[in-house]
Amino acid sequence: MRIKIKNLLHSQSVTTYLNKKVYVCGWVKTVRDQNTFAFVEVGDGSTLKNLQVILKGATLEYLPKLTTGSSVGIQGVLIESPGKNQNIELQAEEIEIFGGCDPEKYLLQKKRHSFEFLRTIAHLRPRTNTQGAVARIRNAMAFATHVFFQNNGFLYVHTPIITSSDCEGGGSMFRVTTLNPLASQNDYENDFFKKPTYLTVSGQLEGEIYALALSDIYTFGPTFRAENSNTSRHLAEFWMVEPEMSFCDLAGNVDLAENYLKFVTDYALKNCCEDLEFFDKFIEKGLLNRLRQVAETSFNKITYTDAIHIIKKSGKSFEFPISWGVDLQSEHERFLAEEYFKNPVILTDYPAGIKAFYMRLNDDQKTVAAMDVLVPKIGEIIGGSQREERLSFLEKKIEENHLRKEDYWWYLQLREFGSAPHAGFGLGFERLLLFITGMENIRDIIPFPRFPAHAEF
């Protein structure tokens, strides 16, 4: 039976398999021919490390075919390694080559490739060390997200991907239509849904429906934004984690965001050691210390108004001038988290004018019960709020934002029938992964990035 390399190299398993016959499969990473014998490094993606395979005698015949990139199955005996780079190695007895790989044509050469180049070969890049580690951490963080919410009594709800309402009111939505491109695009009578429909920008509004019936819920799915932001922090298709809690105010929401971020950070530190050490060594020096600090120290919490004071008093010059009432730019957010607090910081109570229509108006009538979590390196990683649960306030907001009440009839009815205080947030899953891995560009943290002019693969 085939054994994954991770299981072989795992310290507890080594003794189980030592001096026994095992069968492994994987892709050849490197070959070193030493004349009377040869070293072949084989990896199967289950772990960062490769297994060293020794060819001697008859198995040396296979050497010309064991090129970098070819896929193989190898049976042999696992022995203690005399070399100092590994504890064990596999003495090959039988070799099967599943798929050869012409080294002249193979696009993944042994040298280091730029991340930009690797994006153009996204069908091969998961075989690189960095992308393998990214994929494993992405998997671990998705799992940890479910563990956290399930352990805290949240119900996982699947909200729709096709929707007719614009949650964030920004208008940056991808249209979904079956109309002939040459026909009038407003001919909704002949369109599939007989009304304008879009890819969702957020599962929040539908999430609120379930929170106002089942208390605590979360969604975790793909979201889409047709904004033309060509930055290292924006994608057109990204994943969002969105918890929503009934009978909860902004303070409870702030606590949940902090606890969740700490939990997943701690989970990564405990369960992804090998991959995090790799990122600490090659991508961001000091990553492990930064993550440990996040897991251990409590986050700073200040209001938007205080943040404006801090930024103004800093005397630093920014590209975008800042004053009360203006939205923070990424440079301001990063200054606060990276330089001023040197740890995550949660900003609350933003001016009503710069936030979405659904946020609860504070008693000062000027600010809303909003919160953004800002972290070093990224800036905003989470955006959330207490929701406006008072019907008349919400109706007024919808009017002021020039939205159509008819479009939100069901959202308004939730405020008419058994309304309750409730709050929630959205975490950009790829931004979380940038934060955990220290990677610089969001396009390298999702398997197949979608951004302006790019939808390859």
Which residues contact ligand 4AD by CB under 6 A? 167-168, 202, 204, 225, 234-235, 238, 240, 242, 380-384, 424-426, 428, 430-431
Q: Which is nearer to ligand 4AD, 93 or 338 (CB)?
A: 338
Is the CB of residue 380 less than 8 Å from the CB of residue 347?
A: no
Q: How far apart are CB 308 and Mg ion at their closest, in Å? A: 17
User: CB under 5 to 8 A by kind: which of ligand 4AD, Mg ion, none does 76 bind?
Assistant: none
The interface partner of residue 240, options being Mg ion, ligand 4AD, none and the CB cut-off 5 to 8 Å by kind, is ligand 4AD
- Pick the stretch among 279-287, 300-308, 336-344, 379-387 that binds Mg ion (CB under 5 A): 379-387
Which listed option, Mg ion, ligand 4AD, none, makes contact with residue 167 (CB within 5 to 8 Å by class)? ligand 4AD
Q: Is 403 exposed, middle or buried (0-12, 13-18, 19+ CB in 10 A)?
A: middle
Q: How far is the CB of 359 from ligand 4AD (least distance, A)?
A: 9
Maximal CA-CA distance, the chain: 85
From the list Mg ion, ligand 4AD, none, which binds 242 (C-beta under 5 to 8 Å, kind-based)? ligand 4AD
Residue 236 CB, nearest approach to ligand 4AD (Å):
7
Token pair recorded at residue 379: 């800036």
Nearer to Mg ion, 380 or 444 (CB): 380
Q: Which does 439 bind (CB under 5 to 8 A by kind): ligand 4AD, Mg ion, none?
A: none
Least gap, CB of 288 to ligand 4AD (angstroms): 23
Burial of residue 58 (number of CB atoms within 10 Å: 0-12, 13-18, 19+): exposed
Q: How far apart are CA 429 and CA 381, in angstroms?
A: 8
**Tokens found for residue 31:** 């070959």
Report the DSSP pairing between strands 51-56 and 155-156. unpaired
> Could you tell me the smallest distance in angstroms from the CB atom of residue 430 to ligand 4AD?
5
Least spacing, CB of residue 233 vs ligand 4AD, in Å: 6
Contacts of residue 314, Cβ cutoff 8 Å, sequence gap at least 6: 335, 340
| Residues in CB range of 167: below 8 A, 6 or more apart | 200, 201, 202, 204, 205, 356, 358
How many residues bind Mg ion (CB under 5 A)? The answer is 1
Instruction: Name the token pair of 246.
Output: 């009934």
Q: Which is nearer to ligand 4AD, 44 or 380 (CB)?
A: 380
In this structure, the number of other CB atoms found within 10 A of the CB of residue 183 comes to 11
426 binds, among Mg ion, ligand 4AD, none (CB under 5 to 8 A by kind): ligand 4AD
CA 377 to chain centre: 15
* Binds 280: which of Mg ion, ligand 4AD, none (CB < 5-8 Å by kind): none
383 contributes a contact to Mg ion by CB under 5 A:
yes
Measured in whole angstroms, the distance separating CA 21 from the mean position of its chain's CA atoms is 39
